[in-house]
Amino acid sequence: MTSSIYNIAVTTIQGEDKQLNEYAGKVLLIVNVASYCGYTPQYGGLEKLNQKYRQAGLRILGFPCNDFGAQEPGSIEEIMLFCDRNYGVTFEMFDKVHAKGAQQHPLYAQLTSAVEPKGDVAWNFEKFLVNKQGKVVARFKSNISPESPELIAAIETELGK
């Protein structure tokens, strides 16, 4: 039995503290993102998911991360400009985090121990699906695109509950 992520605080891209319990009743897709990765075009698919399912209660939370191949070296301002210019990102973005290692953010400590396969995030654009009660219910590796039928089916299942 995994505990809820709602007791965890994060920092918004604007530098404000935010408790994840503010998302109670929403389905979350949490993604560690990077601007210079082979998977970076997934930003476009994530934004499409955001546009399609936001009204139904999906929230996509992007966490820039420089842990993998130093593929997110920029400042928060540079990251936001990149996302806006290249992908028109309107889903919520947060301050940079460490998804693994000694400085792993508490959110990622909980995400990576909540569902199988347990263990460190392997690369950029790994996705964690969180239900309306704040429980991690699924994990999708980087190569599972936002348009993937299995990801969309999991999102729709959680939205329907």
Q: Which residue has the tokens 């729709």?
A: 156
Express each pLDDT in 93-114 by its tens digit: 999 999 999 999 999 999 999 9
This prediction has a pTM of 0.97
**Which CATH number is 5-160's, of 3.40.50.300, 3.90.1150.10, 3.20.20.190, 3.40.30.10?**
3.40.30.10
Residue of 30, 31, 37, 61 with catalytic role = 37
Q: Which residue has the tokens 């460490």?
A: 98
Q: Which residues share a beta bridge with 127?
A: 31, 140
- Catalytic annotation on 37? yes
Express each pLDDT in 22-70 by its tens digit: 999 999 999 999 999 999 999 999 999 999 999 999 999 999 999 999 9
CA dihedral (62, 68, 71, 72) positive or negative: positive
Q: Give the domain ranges of the chain.
A: 5-160
For residues 126 and 137, the answer to whether their CB atoms sit within 8 Å is no
